[in-house]
Amino acid sequence: MTTNAELAARFEEFADLLEADDVEYKPRAYRRAAENVRAHPIPIADQVRAGNEAAIEEIEGVGDAIGSKIVEYVETGEIEELEALREELPVDMADLTRVEGVGPKTVGTLYRELGVSTLDELEAAAEAGEIREVKGFGPKTEENILDNVEFARTVGQRQLLGEARPLADDVLAYLGSVDAVDRVEVAGSIRRWRETIGDVDVLAATEDAEAVVDALRSWSSVDDEIESGPAKASVRVGEVRVDLRVVVPEEFGSALQYFTGSRDHNVRLRNYAIERGMKLNEYGAFDLGDLETEADADEAASGTDHVAGGQRAGERVAGETEEGMYEALGLSWIPPELREDRGEIAAAEADELPDLVAIEDIRGDLHTHTEWSDGNNTIDEMVAAAEDRGYDYYCIADHAEGPGVVADMGLSDTEILEQVEAIREVDAAADIEVLAGIEANIDADGEIGLSDEAIEALDLIVASPHSALSQGPEEATERLIRAIENPAVDIAGHPSGRLLNEREGLAIDAAALGEAAAASDTALEVNGNPRRLDLWGSAVQAAIDEGATIAINTDAHRPATLEFVRWGVHTARRGWAEPGDVLNAWAFEDVRAFLH
Ligand code: DGT
Ligand code: CA
Ligand code: CA
Ligand code: ZN
């Protein structure tokens, strides 16, 4: 099945190849189309198959030319023009552009000048000092490439949570509808809501393993079968690997606990069990009683697979439910987001697990965009979407001009004042509270560059880093703290500036940021855009430990991406956040009082 994400990826590649060829304007049109295709709520391939071409051209940014390429791709699996471009520039574009500072234009130049087509060749050319000799390049570019090539190598195999989770939901819905399936749940990193996912693990309980394995293998969304056995199957859907394991209902809870991981959580939990004369594994929780021997304990601790018989020794006290597994150890059930061995077992033992924030707790979004900067919609349209979500309040925070913001896209001080007026008008007519905000840019020194007049007129200032994203840890932390301590700043937006699988971002010290944020009543953002998730779990936990408040924002550029709150909430949960820690889970008057 051709997914929207796959179509979008083809158009992004198209844009890259055109850009590498120095073609103007067209790349932007393809990128825009890619973005809209990716965000389209229903599978475009289905519409092609239904012959509904009018619906395709209704997608924003998709006209005749791109529309017919969509049809061509869905029908033939290829786009002829794209194939021609690929032949002209036979490079590993996706790999190469993953190196920070290397864009499609650079790839084009380096291919033409030096014949560089792979990461290895890029690294070799940089090591040999050839890149600095190319016109327009210098020693600094070459050094940057050498610094970043390793990171580019290690990423790229992992999927973003925001891409893998919707697929996991589909798998769950599909297997849930299969008669032979008794229970089904995701496990592994996807159940822990990690920001990137190696593969989607799925666990099903049934008395008829064969029927369930066959059901997955014959699912219409499956592109490839990787392997299968009597009680498991691995398939590929789009770019995602799905691993299904099938167990009997009596062992569903223990298997779910085991396969949810993380590995570190499981090791600590098993040791905890051993200290209490128990053994845990995927088949259950066993009271060893007199059976306990050192060999048993070693075996249980090692986590390697053994014959099932030995694994089932002892009196079985739990295994049907996951709650029962934890209960057998005297612990309350630990939410999967916490299972990273960051103190959750001790907290469960002391009955001090956090009461985690949930999506229903979120009452507003405090960092969103409109067409006034680089968003797609009007203020009215975005506010209407916020009302539809049932929010109590909503803040427009378009880009101010400044370092890292594309020229002409950011608002000048005068334009900010104009937009504040426009927002006030929308607010007067809206059922919810609409705040006039801005996303200011934290420059390399930590300054935000807004006029006093603009600061005075605005309700809320998000300050985010968009440039100088390769500073060292100390410089970066000082820079962010400077912005956090600025009395005008209310929220530090996507504090590290990282882009998952694309750039590492600033190596900030989250505890130090949290301390500064707590002292100056500035919130730290958990940006819910699935490419960012910035801050992330461990950083949120460190900041909250210092008393910081966080804000879970979507950074939405269109109504559909207000949905990113889902990724933001689960990321905050990975950071142990409770509703009281989350600014936009508060009542409006409390938010108002928090703002400077
Ligand atoms: P991923 O797929 O790389 O995003 O990360 P996970 O955590 O989903 O890892 P995966 O898919 O290799 O395995 C799923 C879970 O199963 C993992 O979190 C812990 C558990 N698990 C799998 N194999 C082993 C093993 O050999 N030893 C232990 N202790 N746990 C295992
Ligand atoms: Ca996995
Ligand atoms: Ca797996
Ligand atoms: Zn930003």
Produce one character per residue of 333-347: b if its CB has 16 or more CB atoms within 10 Å, e if not.
Answer: ebbbbbbbbbebbeb
Nearest to 517 by CA among 474, 548, 541, 540: 548
| 475-499: pLDDT as tens digits | 999 999 999 999 999 999 999 999 9
Among the atoms of ligand 1, which is closest to the Cα of residue 259? Answer: 16
pLDDT bin (cut points 50, 70, 90) of residue 100 is: confident
Q: How far apart are CA 444 and CA 495, in angstroms?
A: 13
Of the chain, the percentage scoring pLDDT greater than 70 comes to: 96
Q: How many angstroms separate the alpha carbon of residue 188 from the centre of ligand 2?
A: 5
Query: Is pLDDT of 267 > 90?
Result: yes
Other beta carbons within 10 angstroms of residue 176's beta carbon come to 12
Q: How many angstroms separate the alpha carbon of residue 219 from the centre of ligand 3?
A: 19
Q: What is the CA radius of gyration of the chain?
A: 26
Q: Quote the pLDDT of residue 298.
A: 55
pTM confidence score: 0.81
| 64 or 164: which leads in pLDDT | 164
Report the sign of the C-alpha dihedral through residues 580, 586, 589, 591, in that order.
Answer: positive
Mutate-to-test residue for ligand 1 from 157, 191, 201, 322, highest number of ligand atoms within 8 A of CB: 201
Nearest CA to ligand 1 atom 20: 259
Report the sign of the C-alpha dihedral through residues 526, 529, 533, 535, in that order.
Answer: negative
Among the atoms of ligand 1, which is closest to the Cα of residue 196? Answer: 4
Among the atoms of ligand 1, which is closest to the Cα of residue 305? Answer: 26
Produce one character per residue of 13-35: b if its CB has 16 or more CB atoms within 10 Å, e if not.
Answer: bbbbbbbbbeeeeebebbbbbbb
* Pocket lined around ligand 1, Cβ cut-off 6 Å: 188-189, 194, 197-199, 201, 258-259, 261-263, 266, 303
Q: How far apart are CA 180 and CA 427, in angstroms?
A: 53
pLDDT bin (cut points 50, 70, 90) of residue 305 is: very low
Average pLDDT estimate for 197-221: 97
Q: How many angstroms separate the alpha carbon of residue 223 from the centre of ligand 3?
A: 18
Nearest CA to ligand 1 atom 1: 198
Q: Quote the pLDDT of residue 144.
A: 87
Average pLDDT estimate for 329-343: 98
| 134-169: pLDDT as tens digits | 999 999 889 989 988 887 787 667 899 999 999 999
Nearest to 47 by CA among 11, 2, 92: 2
Q: How far apart are CA 24 and CA 574, in angstroms?
A: 43
Mean pLDDT for the chain overall: 93
Report the sign of the C-alpha dihedral through residues 581, 584, 585, 588, in that order.
Answer: positive
Mutate-to-test residue for ligand 1 from 192, 263, 266, highest number of ligand atoms within 8 A of CB: 263
Q: Quote the pLDDT of residue 38.
A: 82
Nearest CA to ligand 1 atom 12: 188
Q: How many angstroms separate the alpha carbon of residue 192 from the centre of ligand 2?
A: 10
Nearest CA to ligand 1 atom 26: 304
- Two structure tokens written together for 214: 């066959």
- Two structure tokens written together for 234: 């691995």
| 529-549: pLDDT as tens digits | 999 999 999 999 999 999 999
Least confident interval from 97-106, 165-174, 432-441: 97-106
Q: Quote the pLDDT of residue 306.
A: 43
Nearest to 588 by CA among 431, 463, 465, 377: 431
Q: Quote the pLDDT of residue 293.
A: 55
CA distances 146 to 114, 136, 201, 445, 474, Å, are 16, 17, 35, 26, 22
Among the atoms of ligand 1, which is closest to the Cα of residue 192? Answer: 7
| Ligand lying closest to the C-alpha of residue 257 | 1
Among the atoms of ligand 1, which is closest to the Cα of residue 199? Answer: 2
pLDDT bin (cut points 50, 70, 90) of residue 104 is: very high
Query: Is pLDDT of 569 > 90?
Result: yes
Nearest CA to ligand 1 atom 17: 261
| 577-594: pLDDT as tens digits | 999 999 999 999 999 999
| Ligand lying closest to the C-alpha of residue 340 | 1
Nearest CA to ligand 1 atom 24: 263
pLDDT bin (cut points 50, 70, 90) of residue 296 is: low
| 404-449: pLDDT as tens digits | 888 789 999 999 999 999 999 999 999 999 999 999 999 999 999 9
Query: Is pLDDT of 245 > 50?
Result: yes
pLDDT bin (cut points 50, 70, 90) of residue 182 is: very high
Mutate-to-test residue for ligand 1 from 165, 189, 264, 341, highest number of ligand atoms within 8 A of CB: 189
* DSSP sequence for 120-163: HHHHHHHHTT-GGGSTT--HHHHHHHHHHHHHHHHSSSSEEHHH
Nearest CA to ligand 1 atom 23: 259
Q: Quote the pLDDT of residue 308.
A: 42
pLDDT bin (cut points 50, 70, 90) of residue 82 is: very high
Chain centre to alpha carbon of residue 251: 32
Q: Quote the pLDDT of residue 386.
A: 98
pLDDT bin (cut points 50, 70, 90) of residue 43 is: confident
Q: Quote the pLDDT of residue 301.
A: 52
